[in-house]
Structure 1
Amino acid sequence: MAAYAALISVMNIIEQIQLHPHPPISLDQFQIEPLVKNVTFFLDFLECYSQLISSQDTYHLLESRIANTTYAVQDIIESHIVDQIHGANIGSDKEFYNGLTEVIQEMDFIKKEVMQMKENNMGLFLHKDSSTVDIGPLRSRFTGQNATVGFDDVMEEMMDMLTGRQSTRQIIPIVGMGGIGKTTLARNLYGSRLIVRHFDMLAWATISQEYSMRGILLEILLCIKSQESKETYSAMREDELGLVLHKTLIGRRYLIIMDDMWSIEAWELVKFFFPDNNNGSRIIVTTRLRIVASQLTDSCGIEMSFLDDDQSWNLLCRNVFGEQDCPNLELEEIGKEIAKSCKGLPLSIVVIGGLLAKSERTREYWEYVLENISSIVNLEDNERCLRILNMSYDHLSVHLKPCFLYLGSVFPEDDKIRVSWLIKLWVAEGFLKPKSGKSMELVAEEYLKDLIERNLVLVHTRGSSGKIKFCIIHDLLRDLCLRQAEKEKFVCVFTRNNHSSLDARQIETQHRICIHRGKWEEELDIPRMSHAVQSASLTRSMICDFKEVLPSLNMRLLRVLKSNDRALHYGDIYSIEAIFQLVNSRYLAFRVDWMQISKYLSSLHHIWNLQTLIVYGAWNTIAPPEIWKMHQLRHIEFIMLDLPDPEMDGRDQDKIIVLENLQTLLQIRNFKCSEEVVKRIPNVKKLRLYYQDVEELSSFCLNNLCRLEKLESLGCYFAPEKEPIIRNHMLQNLDFPHSLKKLSLYRTRLHWGDMAIKIGSLPFLQVLKLESNAFCGDEWETIEGQFSNLKFLLIEGCGELRYWRTESSHFPCLEQLSLRDLYILEEIPWDIGEIPTLETIVLKYCSHSAVISAKEIVEEQLENGNEDLRVRVYFWKHYQLENLVTTPNFQVEIH
């Protein structure tokens, strides 16, 4: 929702100017007060009323006007900021204040119209009358069977839950994204002969987003009492209908299906009318929201998953050919690709199958369908497909809509979205609403979790600590985002279908532009796009993988520049110097192709609001001293960055700028962790240090690391000329904070006996990575009471390790063990297999005896009934493998 995002952004801009120690402009309090009041009023209106009256044309018109005036406020304020920093005489302060006054007046006019609209809609939905809803002969709708291809295992599991011996009334949720087959599964259960015979009474109620207690009760009663007409109950009050239902169900074994539930409130309205007869009655609830399922019951219920390739092809065949097989091998080959392209979503497969069933069966036509899956699904059976998907978007809270549209639009199709990037971008865009006591990153994580709970975003990969590392979005939902983003002018995404038609006039008002490389890259008209983009003077965000169309100084208001391919090069097309003229930027991520950029960083402090600076390819870069005055900085990432000591002024001790927002520092060379530095970065969570060609570590004050009480992830890498002296320095100077959750050490050359002193007692440590002689010596013996929360352990390149002695209780939470390049390790300790939480052991290029011990461990665990433990082994080709047969629990790969 563009209006909401713009309003939150304006509030953030005003707050940043007011809180900045050296703001680039001043704001007149007599203008700020009415502006903030208007923005607050509009935010309240959108948050409280958008879902109630979003179907009205008047609402959409007002929303569009709110967005446009709010964008105008941003343009006026941020243009003035740029002019002041660059020293331009384009407009005077008087013109700035006059422009702001005009926009505030326009907001006042819109505010009056909004108030009138609120008054006209007073009481809307407070008295929903379901008596006008056509219930119809519901029972007859579900007596037929639907295709259950891919649901066989789930059907069997559900049958067991429905007919099991547990006598108390059970609620069984079926959870999954729209179109994944929840209702189809429920319908097939409802019409199953076994289920019909098992239960005395069956009823179905479709809840959906708009529901009423009266409507739910009527629908259920008319299923159970099919001989009755709706008029029989028309004069009854809600409580009377509930009493009739309760009396009807008393003593009977019943099955009630409540389809498409969006909130727990629907259940709360009617739950008292479903008696627990202690005879095995069941209630099935289908929902897209995990939170609803968890509120209904403690049991996990059923979570629907996507179909695999074989299941997808079988379902497509069923819809195209009925009970027959595909008659043509040529079509079968293409058909399997079509089924695979539907990404396991039954809704897509059924829509495509319906189209193919009534179309010509030629290779040419099926190839056309394969190339145009998304557009065909969105056009064919339009009412059904778009309605199902749009419901998920329409039901989103207003604060989640910009985040969802952004996630689904600015990343390429089929992209695995790195969560850390996504969160940084959400924060930089400025449409996250601050929450007291929480960082913006934490707010963003909560938003993402909410979208995942709603089955709009899927977890793809978790990191070693268990946090979500990558997420994905289904193609159909991405198409929904693209359509909605275009409709609201929220993001302009250059696609195969629109890139040739977009011209300068359409681009010049766009606030966000995305251009991605992809499988259709060769079809792009790069010169045309480049020309069109140059007119985008109001653009705030540019996410682009083509150096030819990257922004010039014309994009003076740019906040976000992200180029994550090898697209941004120093040269004739675009100057790195131009990047550091983008003084309004909050997020800069680009590649410099191994060049030195230190001379350009001297103007870094002019980017007054910079939050994230990510530079790919830059070695030997020296940051300017002014970086310590950039209080908005949140994330700094370089391949190698030299960070100078902060300038100390004895007369100005009370005016030290603390970088309270700074959370990430990667990768800092020869970092001096003095008391002065620690005071300035108290909230750093992720720190990676690299020490090169140093003989004396004491001057770097690594003992002060323990004062970074918010530090969660630390990497220490050493490349010393005299390695033997490092251990003594490590023992004397390296002191880790207790807050650490992840620790990576490289060439620290500590002894295994030092582990208990330095690391083992860290109470929250979940991930430990020891690489390239981080620890030395031939024997490691662990002790009781340490590594209490460790989940992931990597030992790589600690080539002296021969004996490892431990007990299962020494690693009570270990889930993954990874060993690499341990050529003389005799065996993995036998007790490792007894760790109840252990899921995976990975050995890469380790000794043959260590591999044999891993094989014996997994075999013993299988004999003891533990089928969850998996071992993966990697060998070089020249190794002789004997008695290493691959099994489901013991996988061998040769490289």
Structure 2
Amino acid sequence: MKSQELKMELARLLKTQKCLVVLDDISSTSEWDLVQGYLDNAGRIIITTREKNIAEHCSRDDRNMYSLEGLKDNDALDLFTKKVLKDNTEQICFHPAMMEQAKIILKKCGGLPLAISTIGGFLATKPKTAVEWRMMNDRISAELEINPELRTIKTVLMRSYDGLPYYLKSAFLYLSIFQEDQVIMLNRLVRRWIAEGYSRDIHGITAEQLGRRYFEELLDRSMILPGEDVNDYNGKINSCQLHDIIREICISKAREENLVFKLEDGCCLSSTQGPIRHLVIGSNWKRDGDALPGVLDLYHVRSMTVFGDWRPFFISENMRFLRVLDLEDTLGLRDHHLDCVGKLHHLKYLSLRGCLNIYRLPNSVGNLRHLQTLDVRGTHIFELPRTITNLGMLQNLRIDSCCLWMTTVPVLLRPQVVAGGLNRRDVLNLFRYELYDNKLRGAKVPRGIGQLKALHKLDGARVEGNATVKELRELTELRKLGVVGISSKNNMEFWSAIAGHYHLRSLSMRGNSLVDELDGCLGEGLSPPSWLESLKLYGKLVRVKDWIPQLQNLCKLVLDCSCLEQHDAIQALGVLPNLAVLRLKKYSFVGKQLHFQNSACPSLVVLELLSLSNLESVLFEEDAMPRLELLQVSTCRSLKKISGLSVLTSLKEIRLGYLAQFMKPEMLSQLGERQKHVVVKNV
């Protein structure tokens, strides 16, 4: 029957009979548009699709959309057991060793009924032993390739990969770089994509915005699983993971295209390997020696990622076109190992995050004229070299703003010195760190920081002297700024310097001490940029009510050591129309009563009260916080009562720290019938 005849027959049938129409696995919006006009008389229509945007296109209302989740653990085990036993009602008790292997198999299946049924049916024909099931786990990647009984899984899932647009295929295969079960942070992934050229500035969209769009599209197509890290006030997913079986397919396809090469335990090095684009050194690869550059063709390597222990021969002179060097959480990396980094002139992304034995960057880092991202959070770097001002293309400079802890062990008796592995310069850097004033936070930025005009994000920068503060005026492309060292002496210069930063959306600032005022100059013609969306202030505030009402776009506010005493300061926070997250941390409010008045905080979703040592009571008036979903109270040692919970009509969860758990019965009583819909957790 021809297409037109089929349409006419369908239209005739629906006019004469009331039908349930099921359209399975719609792969494009055009498929739906082709048949939609002929289904007007259908009684009910059910559509299945793998992509969220297609579901949104077909559905008239979001309430008609249902996202199918994977099977839960117990249901997955039931299905697996039925398939292994061929639906035999005679049950057997699996040996603990078999059950352990079964759980590993089910974890790889990730709740996918197709995978569970297929693998379970395959194992039904095999000996039911832990050894046999362990072999299945060890070779599942190969089995998906060669076993006709399991090839169905790959065939079905490959349809999802084949349906990706060309620009997403490379971005997806790039995920095979990361380890099994690893939580992949969005920012790390997007900045690596940018460095590799997968995401670029195009038609008024920045490379970062485009990368985030790719990330969301992969989520919508169910190619990646959303992580638990969710933005507090906009609900955006900040991390992801790969489904185990999809990861196997991802690795297989990346290997097939010679895109990613992994050095892991048991891998065989061969001079016939051919060009390598992305080199990954796994956590279980323990080989020593200098065979790596001698055997593999490293000339075409564009990225190197290390997940285990550092070896000095990992960086080769042949890697002259390296763009990404990701050493996050690498063990055993020392200052002198970075001397060769300055020769990687094409490097765009350098991460030393979590490398605890790094105290100072080499001056040669100034040779990396193409560098876009430098991430040294989680290191002990306390001062940046002057040569960093040469990095004219640098967009992201991420430093820790947390405190640098001073050790009481003399430098020459430190275990890492005694055990060896440090050269003379490493010892000197460690010695300088020991003598450093560790009460200060962040890393000192050098004079000339204003030359980095391409900076979008600058975190943990400690500014000393008015001259350095004034240079912030030149960084007009900043989207996010975190500074340390603001005091009563330089706060006016600081606020004046950032007043014209029209792109700035996130600001974090720390004072030198509790007595330094962060806002003493505000309110008289000078205020924070009104387009700020996130503001974190760590230090004393004295004029909040004079400038806070001007921040009409503010969505997130974190106050720490602010020493607010007057209730009118809290009232001023309550009138912010878009404030969704409010975190009042230690000494931010030093009064005894926290009173949220009628209609206060109309958009607030999250409220946290942490370490407010003087606080005795909290009261919510009628119509206060109509959208509040999460209330978190912890370490408020004088707090005796929280009243008015019944007015919080959107409340979904309450988290109580140890010192607040005695209030739980009273809080549940206030909620009345609504306590069935509110989760109360002890944290």
* TM category, shorter: 0.7 to 0.9
- Please give the residue correspondences for 1:319-468 in structure 2 after superposition, counting only pairs within 5 Å: 319-321=83-85, 322=87, 324=89, 326-330=91-95, 333-334=99-100, 335-370=102-137, 375-376=142-143, 380=147, 381-407=149-175, 409-460=176-227, 461-466=229-234, 467-468=236-237
Measured in 1, the distance between the counterparts of 2:195 and 2:247 equals 22
Q: Deviations over 1:574-624 (max 9, x none)?
A: 6221112211111111266455435x23x3342221111112414331342
- Please give the residue correspondences for 1:157-556 in structure 2 after superposition, counting only pairs within 5 Å: 233=1, 236=2, 238-276=3-41, 281-300=43-62, 301-321=65-85, 322=87, 324=89, 326-330=91-95, 333-334=99-100, 335-370=102-137, 375-376=142-143, 380=147, 381-407=149-175, 409-460=176-227, 461-466=229-234, 467-496=236-265, 499-506=266-273, 509-517=275-283, 521=284, 524-525=286-287, 527=289, 530=292, 535-545=297-307, 546-548=309-311, 550-556=314-320
Q: Deviations over 1:99-130 (max 9, x none)?
A: xxxxxxxxxxxxxxxxxxxxxxxxxxxxxxxx
- Superposed CA RMSD: 3.2
- Please give the residue correspondences for 1:495-894 in structure 2 after superposition, counting only pairs within 5 Å: 495-496=264-265, 499-506=266-273, 509-517=275-283, 521=284, 524-525=286-287, 527=289, 530=292, 535-545=297-307, 546-548=309-311, 550-567=314-331, 569-570=333-334, 575-590=337-352, 593-597=356-360, 600-601=362-363, 603-616=364-377, 617-624=379-386, 627-628=388-389, 630-639=391-400, 640-646=442-448, 659=453, 661-670=454-463, 677-678=471-472, 680-691=474-485, 696-698=489-491, 700-720=493-513, 723=515, 728=520, 735-747=527-539, 749-751=540-542, 754-771=543-560, 773-777=561-565, 779=567, 780-783=569-572, 786-798=575-587, 800-807=590-597, 809-831=599-621, 835-847=625-637, 849=639, 852-853=641-642, 857=645, 860=646, 869-875=652-658, 883=665, 889-893=678-682
Measured in 2, the distance between the counterparts of 1:389 and 1:619 equals 45
Measured in 1, the distance between the counterparts of 2:469 and 2:489 equals 18
1:500–1:525 CA contact under 8 A, matched in 2: no
Measured in 1, the distance between the counterparts of 2:525 and 2:178 equals 44
Stretches of structure 2 that go unaligned for 5 or more consecutive residues are: 401-441, 669-674
Measured in 2, the distance between the counterparts of 1:554 and 1:604 equals 19
Measured in 2, the distance between the counterparts of 1:647 and 1:542 equals 29
How many Å apart are 1:488 and its aligned residue? 0.9
Which structure would you say has the larger RCO, counting Cα contacts within 8 Å and 6 or more residues apart? 1
Q: Which moved more, 1:486-495 or 1:581-590?
A: 486-495
Q: Which moved more, 1:268-277 or 1:588-597?
A: 588-597
How many Å apart are 1:811 and its aligned residue? 1.2
- Please give the residue correspondences for 1:102-121 in structure 2 after superposition, counting only pairs within 5 Å: none
1:783–1:806 CA contact under 8 A, matched in 2: no
Q: Which moved more, 1:312-321 or 1:557-566?
A: 312-321
Q: Which moved more, 1:665-674 or 1:800-809?
A: 665-674
- AA of the residue aligned to 1:587: Y
* 1:125 paired residue number: none
1:839–1:868 CA contact under 8 A, matched in 2: yes
Percent identity over paired residues: 23
Q: Deviations over 1:143-199 (max 9, x none)?
A: xxxxxxxxxxxxxxxxxxxxxxxxxxxxxxxxxxxxxxxxxxxxxxxxxxxxxxxxx
Measured in 1, the distance between the counterparts of 2:32 and 2:289 equals 57
How many Å apart are 1:561 and its aligned residue? 0.3
Measured in 1, the distance between the counterparts of 2:470 and 2:650 equals 54
Measured in 2, the distance between the counterparts of 1:529 and 1:343 equals 38
Distance 1:882 1:394, change over 3 A: closer
- Please give the residue correspondences for 1:21-60 in structure 2 after superposition, counting only pairs within 5 Å: none
Q: Deviations over 1:728-777 (max 9, x none)?
A: 35667973112211111112x114xx333232431221111112x12432
* 1:186 paired residue number: none
Distance 1:367 1:848, change over 3 A: farther
Q: Secondary structure at the match of 2:95?
A: helix
Q: Secondary structure at the match of 1:303?
A: coil
Measured in 2, the distance between the counterparts of 1:245 and 1:743 equals 59
- AA of the residue aligned to 2:365: L
> Which structure has the bigger radius of gyration?
1
What is the number of residues matched between the two proteins?
620
- AA of the residue aligned to 1:740: L
* 2:412 paired residue number: none
1:815–1:838 CA contact under 8 A, matched in 2: yes
- AA of the residue aligned to 1:580: G
Q: TM-score when scaled to structure 1?
A: 0.64
Q: Secondary structure at the match of 1:818?
A: strand
1:637–1:666 CA contact under 8 A, matched in 2: yes
Measured in 1, the distance between the counterparts of 2:310 and 2:517 equals 47
- AA of the residue aligned to 2:95: E
Measured in 1, the distance between the counterparts of 2:346 and 2:549 equals 46
- AA of the residue aligned to 1:702: W
Measured in 2, the distance between the counterparts of 1:813 and 1:781 equals 15
Q: Deviations over 1:349-371 (max 9, x none)?
A: 11221123222222333344455
